[in-house]
Every structure is written in structure tokens, then in C-alpha cells.
Amino acid sequence: MRIISKTLVIDELKRMAEEGFGNMVKAVVDTERRLIAVDADLHSDLEAALLNDGSKQKYLWGINLYPGLQEDSFIEFDSMINLRPSQGNKSRGVDDEELRREIAVIVAERIKK
């Protein structure tokens, strides 16, 4: 498990995928601090790591990264930690289109191809 505050090269993300789920890496994005935690079995473990590092839960969103796929399929917005009816998010995805775009921008800033 790692918290990415600078950048991560795509080849390292591919290695994480191969050593873990095969083609995917779980990640949690902090939209306030613009950090990404990667490489754990559960999104909740990544969420806990970011919370211990000073993040606030309302800014944490779970995603899956597929380093072998093109940009449209690279990010999957799907995690149990995203279920937040109190914040208006009633699914495992990220319902707000603007928030999905912001998450994608942060991923592009932190993961370099």
C-alpha cells in the first residue's frame, strides 16, 4: 500500500496489478489533498491509510485502475466506500459527473504514462 503525493509511473502500476488482481489496482483518491492511495486488497484499507494520514472521509472516493487499458476504460468508479446517501451519492459509483472529472484529473496528475 502506498500514498502517492508526487507521481507514479504506469509501469509500476502495471507491476502492482500483476502482483495483485492481475489487471487492476484498487485506489482511493483524496479530492481535497489531491493524493491517491494504491495497492491494497480493499478500498477500505486504502481509505483508512488516508484517514490516518490526515484526510477527511467526505473527500475520499474509491476507484479501480486498469493500467493495461486505454483512457476511457482506465478508471472504473466502483467501490463500497462510495455509498454515501448523506452526501447525495447513492451508488457504488461516483454519481456526480463533475466529481468524476475531478478524480480523473487527479489520477492524470499522479499517474504518468
Query: How many percent of the chain have pLDDT more than 70?
Result: 100
* Distance (Å) of CA 24 to CA 57, 76, 93, 106: 23, 10, 16, 18
In this prediction, residues 40-45 reach a mean pLDDT of: 97
Distance, CA of 84 to CA of 66 (rounded, Å)? 24
Domains: count for the chain: 1
User: What is the extent of the structural domain holding 93?
Assistant: 2-112
| Contact predicate 94/100, CB 8 Å | yes
Question: Which residue has cell 457504488?
Answer: 92
The tens digit of pLDDT for each residue in 44-60 reads 999 999 999 999 999 99
Residue 71 has pLDDT above 90, yes or no: no
Quote the pLDDT of residue 82.
98
What's the pTM value of the predicted model, to 2 decimals?
A: 0.96
Q: Which of 49, 54, 27 is nearest to 108 (CA)?
A: 27
Q: How far is CA 96 from CA 6, 33, 74, 82, 90, in A?
A: 26, 19, 18, 11, 10
Mean pLDDT, rounded, of the chain: 96
CB of 104 within 8 A of CB of 92? no
Question: What's the Cα-to-Cα distance from 105 to each of 20, 30, 34, 35, 42, rounded to whole Å?
Answer: 25, 12, 9, 11, 23
SS3 13: helix
